[in-house]
A and B are shown apart, each in its own frame.
Chain A
Amino acid sequence: MRRTTIYAWLMLLPAMVLLMAFTHYPAIRTIIASLHSTARGHRASVFVGLANYERLLSDDVFKQVLWNNLIYGALTVPVSIAIAISMALLVNYKLRGRGFVRMAYFTPTVLPLIAVANIWLFFYTPGFGLIDQIRGMFGLAQQNWIGQPDTVLYAMMVVTVWKEAGFFMIFYLAALQSISPSLYEAAAIEGASRWTVFRRITFPLLMPTTLFVSVNAAINSFRLIDHIFVMTGGGPNNASSLLLYYIYQVAFREWDTAYGATLTVVLLAILLLLAVGQFFFFDRKVHYK
């Protein structure tokens, strides 16, 4: 028993050291930093207690960014998943041109978001952008999708869904393949409709994948901000800014590292909540099956 413990710890050591050095250690450091002021020039950092958190409460930008991020997550996660499932079901059929279709769904995975963001920028450009050119054919007026506070966040969501759905499709495709054909045959004998089959057989059997994917999508909704950099810079008036983008702005543009840490603590808390949820759902479903 003692020997296996030593074995196990030795085997775990390198991975755990790296993992903790860049996840747990900085997380704790972030919490400490959030209780101090930012050092600037000759003024050293001092302990300020909860002052940074007080600033948080009166920071309108923070409130807006948090709200943006919640809407953003609440919409992009289910929509990406629904499209990913549809794509997987479609590609699972033997249809004409499946190779092309599969590659098309896969393109977001190989095209870096930072690069495609420029392309989406063109799609959205008012007047001569692709969407407006198409709208123009139908006699519709030009629309400044990413220049208006009320549409910009949704425009960003479309880009996110495009990016995510293609990637998640692969996981669903794998899961679909492992569903036994005999189940479908049985359903066919009973004359079940296509929708009933999906609702009663396919979707429940995809549940573990859905949990896994939704957790990933939820994390990504807090993590993936590349397109915000290129397309809007969080504007206009923070309408498309997300929490991590705001953290970047505060910490690496305004050089207010203490306040950046405070914002990061909020993000950590949100993710931790999600992690607890994940532990209860995901681990039970998958590992004890």
Chain B
Amino acid sequence: MTGSWKYDRPLVTLAAWVLALMWFLPLAYAIWTAFHPASYETHFVLWAPLTLENFASAWAQAPFAQYFLNTMILVVMILVVQIILATFAAYAFAVYEFAGKNILFGLVLVQLMIMPDILLVENYTTMRGLGLVDTILAIGLPYMGSAFAIFLLRQTFMTVPKELAEAAKIEGANALTLLWRVYVPLAKPTYLAFGLVSVSAHWNNFIWPLIITNSVSTRPLTVGLSVFAATDSGVEWSVINAATLMTSAPLLIAFLLFQRQFVQNFMRAGIK
């Protein structure tokens, strides 16, 4: 690897940067329009006046703080329940031999493919039956039993050396203590990796929340942004992008601050 590295280092750097700039472009445009008056949405001149007006206007026009709070509640709620339920399920699949194991595991695998998003109509009916329409719980409920989490954790638990478990058993640990003291700590990177996937998916999720929510007090950011950006009267990029930035900034900043630890941890999860 090191042999030719010297020569094409600039080339690789260039390629990486070109790709990076292309990928960064939408965010760059969002930043540009958000900090400039609307008349500069399509004119990229260096000395364009800066303004915070767009943020103020977006903030005044829609309850973004509420949307943000709703999304935080939603994402955290889903993740916590997913992890708890999946941990038990994965432990059962990884450790026990029991009747019906293969069938149940097969049923779990089905959900890796058929996600609740696709079954909008029937899931709406179910929520109506449960009286949960227009609640944050209803947005999250269909995702709480996560096949993906069960699958990932089962893979990880299966790699835990039997000797470790045996040793703990000899010391008198019961199944729950064993799970809590031995398996869960060893699966930390997997939890982190799954956390990323889950948070990113539900932070971005749009169609199901669009259908199941009706009011400001339940709408997550995605739906709030889409309602806000409804373009019947013409797109106002500056204000819409100010809203987008405002609501995405916390995650972006968190990533910037923690990216090293984050990427390393994610790598240790060794998802393959």
Residues of A bordering B, CB below 8 Å: 1, 4-5, 7-9, 11-12, 14-27, 29-30, 33, 83, 86-87, 90-91, 93, 95-97, 99-116, 118-123, 128-130, 133, 162, 165-167, 170-171, 173-175, 177-178, 184-185, 187-188, 191, 194, 197, 208-209, 212, 215, 219, 222-223, 225-226, 229-230, 244, 247-248, 251-252, 257, 260-261, 264, 267-268, 271-272, 274-275, 278-279, 283, 286-287
Contact = CB atoms under 8 A, between A and B. Distances in A.
Contacts of A83: 19
Interface size range on B against A: 35 or more
Contacts of B211: 252
Contacts of A166: 23
A248 B29 contact: no
Contacts of A93: 9, 12-13, 16
Contacts of B150: 15
A119 B203 CA distance: 18
B71 to A, nearest CB: 9
Contacts of A9: 92, 98, 100
B1 A188 contact: yes
Contacts, number: 309
Nearest to A260: B121
Given A111-B27, A174-B193, A18 B85 contact: yes
Contacts of B91: 11
B225 interface: yes
Nearest to B117: A223
Nearest to A223: B117
A225 B15 CA distance: 30
Given A26-B119, A261-B121, A120 B26 contact: yes
B45 interface: no
Interface of B is mostly: helix
Contacts of B243: 115
A149 B147 CA distance: 38
Given A15-B85, A110-B255, A260-B121, A283 B9 contact: no
B61 interface: no
30 contacts: A8-B92, A8-B96, A12-B89, A12-B104, A16-B104, A16-B108, A20-B145, A21-B145, A24-B110, A25-B122, A26-B126, A90-B16, A101-B17, A103-B259, A104-B23, A107-B24, A112-B248, A114-B226, A118-B229, A121-B235, A123-B29, A162-B23, A173-B266, A174-B271, A177-B267, A188-B3, A226-B206, A226-B207, A226-B222, A272-B114
Interface string B138-156: 0001111111001000010
Contacts of B100: 9
Given A11-B92, A247-B120, 18 more contacts: A11-B91, A16-B107, A21-B126, A91-B16, A101-B19, A107-B23, A110-B200, A115-B243, A116-B30, A118-B229, A122-B42, A122-B235, A123-B25, A162-B26, A188-B1, A197-B1, A209-B272, A252-B120
Contacts of A275: 109-110, 112-114
Contacts of B244: 111-112, 115-116, 118-119
Contact of B204 (A27, A96, A113, A251): A113
